[in-house]
Structure 1
């Protein structure tokens, strides 16, 4: 067979071959491999950042029963932003960490409940300002730093311009996740063990371990044993009661829910029972009243807080509503002190309560009467829906009770002009609304809330729970519980003296049902003065004002129950 010798390629052919080689080097085959590798790295980075967001939520949930929701969140976002920036910049430093940061993440996550539990015992000395910062400085912030440090290396693209864009995208994603994770979890918290303040760190630890498996995970075994066997935040009620018994308290029930950690506590010697929500008390009763607190056998136990009894004074309004079978709406339940009073007097009552566990415990442990209609939902949703009804299905109430104060603060959305307008539309023409609010009358928030209410309703009168001090004009602080009574009519009204039937045999009602200490608003605040009408557009103003109030409330409530009760939950 004849063979041929290949000819020497020409200069033109060599240039063509060079072009083909260049195209081959830029062909999709190799970049696809590199692209998949980088895509996988970015995916891991997103998972790590999402898991850090879960830990952010879990950390604040764990600290809220010890410090309260507002003090816990006061500087959380700002410090998180600083830690995020510091961790991203750290990757440009000339030296590197002597270990693989990702391998430590599952271990740190699993140790968070144990460390936070150990540090809770120092909360009384640290206070609500420093306590959350110190605790998260030892637990969450190091975890966040190493998470972002790992992410910064995984999502490294080789030049500062691209890296800056990537850092901004990840930062935006993290801030969005920090706010969206609690919203998505709110109605699922407590539905299973993994969706609790103890379960979430274990979930995060598992996710971290999947992203970066390592034998270091074995060092977290003591933390997992502690969480499941010795941590009072996570163990059974029996284990927790061993701690509380030394302070004469017994935990009757507890559950995490959409408004926080809910529990029922009873004092073994003084015989009172309270309903707790995070670092606040929603109400309480005397199980066996002390001498002098005898009451008739009406099935209603003596309340330990007078302000809830004062809300029942809507029945004492004179002139009364024309409807001989009045209806009442209660926004916020607590233990149901005022609701039980209305029901006992034959008032058909609807209750709107966001937290199903609060309603459950009020029924099981505080004898909330069954003959009421409960709407377990957000009050804004309820009010908008009922106002959209027309005809015979449209609700009208002669009495409305608005009592949503907890943890030194109120849900700001329930104190806006728009929400009060919705309540006014549900109030009958001759009805009365009673709004409970606690705070410092010397602060701008007090006048703003009262003036917002007065803008919507007529005939508003404000009564405080106790007599003011003698030098109230010179005082810098005037913290009190108050009830704002308003009507839809500008016509003047009074309160009739309570009859024996109104008292229900209760010493507390005999002394506090009739409102006594009225505030002369024009004299107290002055005819003029700075205030803000609160609406949906400026709701952040009230949220900001309540920070000071919440810090003050923390110190007050720590004197009601001993620190060991607040720290062990």
Structure 2
């Protein structure tokens, strides 16, 4: 049919329409449509980022038994931030991935435990610095990249301003979720299989699959089968027993808990038993002491570490407390070496231990005496509560033992000025406190801890576990345990010589109960520069200092048990 002249738009109208179309194309901001499909897409993006935050936490706790908590987290946040930014920017590139990225997310998530288990055997070669970076570079970071890439495309409004704002909001959301996941899951880890190092990646895989169902999920069947049948990290397997037996070790018990992976290992060649927490040892005893270290069976085991019996020297302080029935408080338990010693001497003892599994294993496998009162809670909460009590309701202790070292570091919050002031208020006027700290005594952390303690308490004397093999002045590293003994009173004190009754028939106590290697603080720390009084306001300072110490501790602790034992758990 012919088009009549009357049906054609006038030329000037056509030019006007063209100008409007051109203006629309050149407009810096396209209109934002918020229909149900777009809201659903944004919701899916939020779910994906939430799931990635779960995987972030799961990856960290899975690597901690192999590399330690601090080395594992050293660059995790920084690399995650870079990956997040790179993935968001990638959506603006002129080319697209040749597949639907989010269909791969459940598959990658389910393969993470299998891949991390396979890569653990290279930990000795890679070391505590590169090991976590390489392992997560193969497992978690690709998953994070594709998660953010998928979320960015789902929430794409094709508006630069809106997308920029959304990128900031999503990044903040992801970082807050990482913190919340850690905070809310830490005390539930190990309570069920889904809340374990292997269960969480499976949970994440399920959530990813709900957001983006695909037949590709069938390719994850081998990973699921391996997780449930052959991965020693996920389930008890005959392969794990065979691997440990080849190194003369037997796994007696294990459980994931709020402070890490807890296990009891027995060396069948040298006949000792240890309590492991992630990549650290909380203590150990001789099951059958070597010749010359036999004990006479007075109700305590023979410990393999001298520093723990040195804490018992609070009983040797002269003059002793006036109370004929002294009470003791132990902050941190381990296997209970010092606590068992105090209990054996009839000292009424309260124990504050954060990890219920540590307390249970200390009782079941290391003969911790039952006649004590256990408070399974955070020490800060305990001290604040007891300080708030008035008069007769406030607890007073003649002896306080402070021993919370694990994983190459200490909880920084338990070495602040405020926390020590709280402990001082619980210490009797003639009482004594013993504080254990392990690390490189050449580093600023050691001096700052000593000076913070000396600010709160009087009469502080510091003893190291042993003397260094080389000249202290020339040594660049001086890694050792030190015990700080302090009192509330300014009166001088000494340590009396141990009597036979103090030794409890233990050769280790005979040799190491009496503090021997006292440090001249002015001579040792006087030339090392200034120090920082540690408080709640600068707690990150100590955390930062301990990074170097934790890397050094990883190397040292690897000499105690062979790498294959640390890698297979």
TM-score (norm 2): 0.94
Paired with 2:471 and 2:263, the residues of 1 have a C-alpha distance of 39
1:177 shift after superposition: 1.2
- Gapped regions of structure 1 (runs ≥ 5): 1-30
Paired with 2:554 and 2:33, the residues of 1 have a C-alpha distance of 57
**Cα offsets for 1:423-453 (capped at 9, x unmatched):** 0000000000000001111111111000000
**Cα offsets for 1:83-132 (capped at 9, x unmatched):** 00000000000000000000000000000000000000000000000000
Paired with 1:326 and 1:315, the residues of 2 have a C-alpha distance of 10
Residue 447 of structure 1 pairs with residue 465 of structure 2? no
Paired with 1:322 and 1:103, the residues of 2 have a C-alpha distance of 72
For residues 300-339 of structure 1, the aligned pairs below 5 Å read 300-339=300-339
Aligned to 1:433: 433
Aligned to 1:154: 154
Residue 544 of structure 1 pairs with residue 554 of structure 2? no
Residue 421 of structure 1 pairs with residue 411 of structure 2? no
Aligned to 1:5: none
1:178 shift after superposition: 1.3
Aligned to 1:234: 234
The answer to whether the Cα contact below 8 Å between 2:32 and 2:157 also exists between their aligned partners in 1 is: no
Paired with 2:228 and 2:35, the residues of 1 have a C-alpha distance of 43
Paired with 2:32 and 2:364, the residues of 1 have a C-alpha distance of 63
1:237 shift after superposition: 5.5
Aligned to 1:102: 102
Paired with 1:528 and 1:274, the residues of 2 have a C-alpha distance of 36
Runs (4+) of structure 1 exceeding 6 A deviation are: none
Paired with 1:348 and 1:299, the residues of 2 have a C-alpha distance of 16
**Cα offsets for 1:159-200 (capped at 9, x unmatched):** 111111000000001111112211100110000000000000
1:34 shift after superposition: 5.0
Compared with structure 1, are the counterparts of its residues 346 and 238 closer, same or farther at alpha carbon in structure 2 (3 Å cutoff)?
Answer: farther
1:528 shift after superposition: 8.3
The answer to whether the Cα contact below 8 Å between 1:237 and 1:253 also exists between their aligned partners in 2 is: no
Paired with 2:547 and 2:33, the residues of 1 have a C-alpha distance of 53
Aligned to 1:172: 172
Paired with 1:294 and 1:255, the residues of 2 have a C-alpha distance of 31
Paired with 1:317 and 1:276, the residues of 2 have a C-alpha distance of 32
What SS class does the counterpart of residue 63 from structure 1 fall into? helix
Paired with 1:457 and 1:68, the residues of 2 have a C-alpha distance of 32
1:38 shift after superposition: 1.1
For residues 255-334 of structure 1, the aligned pairs below 5 Å read 255-334=255-334
Paired with 2:259 and 2:527, the residues of 1 have a C-alpha distance of 38
For residues 41-440 of structure 1, the aligned pairs below 5 Å read 41-236=41-236, 238-440=238-440
- Gapped regions of structure 2 (runs ≥ 5): 1-30
Q: How many residues align?
A: 539
1:147 shift after superposition: 0.1
Paired with 2:342 and 2:474, the residues of 1 have a C-alpha distance of 39
1:505 shift after superposition: 0.6
1:529 shift after superposition: 3.1
Aligned to 1:496: 496
1:345 shift after superposition: 0.2
Paired with 2:216 and 2:528, the residues of 1 have a C-alpha distance of 66
Paired with 1:408 and 1:130, the residues of 2 have a C-alpha distance of 17
